[in-house]
Every structure is written in structure tokens, then in C-alpha cells.
């Protein structure tokens, strides 16, 4: 698989975080829109709800980056849209305020008529 051959090149390790920022490999893949790498990381048990030093999850980062397909992948794999940052902002709230397309995904997931 092409993604697997890229992993050593990009020094991707699902068990470690970048010490200064607490960003995981999955957060980095989500921000960049690397869906195949994100799928591979999740397949090998990358934690979809891990929080960085500010309490942001992978979903927060994917929403900030406008990565709708990554958001779909994370939701499919059990990511919690209600986990709050240290400032009390959940991915649900963030999407509501910044990205209506992704917010619509959340509403559909919650079985709210849209």
C-alpha cells in the first residue's frame, strides 16, 4: 500500500506525540487531508478522541482545516463530537459556528431533521 511506504518517510508513529504541541500523527494527517494515512492510522488503533495540550481533538483540527471527508471518517470510527476543549468548545459547537457543511453532518449523525 502506498501509504505504508510513506510512513517511514514522514516519520509517522501512532504511539508518539510531538512533545511541544501534543499533536499526534492522526491530527497531522487530518489537518493535511491525508485520508488514506488517517485510515491506516485508525486501522492500527490511533486514538480518535485523544486531546492535545489545549483539549482539542482530531475532530476539532479536521473542522478547523475544513476536511469534511476526514470528519466523516472520524465519526464513522467513533469520534465524540461533544468532547470539549479547555475553553469549553466541542467539535459540534465549532462546526456550528464555522462550517455549516460539517455541522450538517453532525445534525444528520444526531438524527436531527435538516
82: CATH: 1.25.40.20
Residue 27's alpha-carbon distances to 20, 77, 92, 101, 108, in angstroms, are 14, 15, 17, 20, 24
**Structural domain of 8:** 2-109
User: Given this model, what pLDDT does residue 106 score?
Assistant: 94
Asked whether residue 19 is assigned to any structural domain, the reply reads yes
> Which one has a higher pLDDT value, 41 or 13?
41
- Residue bearing the bigger pLDDT, 10 or 90: 90
Is 27 inside a domain boundary? yes
Give me the pLDDT at residue 112, please. Answer: 62
Pick the more confident residue, 22 or 8: 22
Q: For residue 6, is it within any domain? A: yes
Q: What share of the chain is helix, strand, coil (3-state, %, to 5)?
A: 50, 0, 45
Q: What is the CA radius of gyration of the chain?
A: 14
Q: For the chain, how many structural domains are there in total? A: 1
21 pLDDT tier (thresholds 50, 70, 90): low
Task: Look at the alpha carbons of 66, 41, 17, 29 in this order and tell me if their dihedral is positive or negative.
Answer: negative
Q: Please check whether residue 43 lies inside any domain of the structure.
A: yes
Distance of CA 32 to the CA centre of its chain: 11
Q: How far is CA 33 from CA 9, 80, 84, 87, 107, in A?
A: 17, 19, 23, 25, 22
- Whether 114 maps to a domain, the answer reads no
Average pLDDT, the chain: 85
Amino acid at each position: 500500500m502506498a501509504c505504508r511506504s510513506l510512513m517511514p518517510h514522514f516519520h509517522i508513529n501512532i504511539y508518539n506525540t510531538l512533545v511541544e504541541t501534543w499533536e499526534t500523527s492522526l491530527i497531522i494527517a487530518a489537518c493535511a487531508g491525508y485520508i488514506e494515512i488517517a485510515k491506516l492510522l485508525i486501522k492500527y488503533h490511533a486514538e480518535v478522541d485523544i486531546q492535545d495540550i489545549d483539549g482539542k481533538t482530531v475532530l476539532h483540527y479536521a473542522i478547523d482545516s475544513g476536511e469534511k471527508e476526514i470528519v466523516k471518517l472520524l465519526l464513522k470510527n467513533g469520534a465524540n463530537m461533544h468532547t470539549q476543549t479547555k475553553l469549553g468548545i466541542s467539535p459540534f459547537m465549532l462546526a456550528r459556528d464555522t462550517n455549516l457543511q460539517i455541522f450538517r453532518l453532525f445534525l444528520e449523525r444526531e438524527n436531527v431533521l435538516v
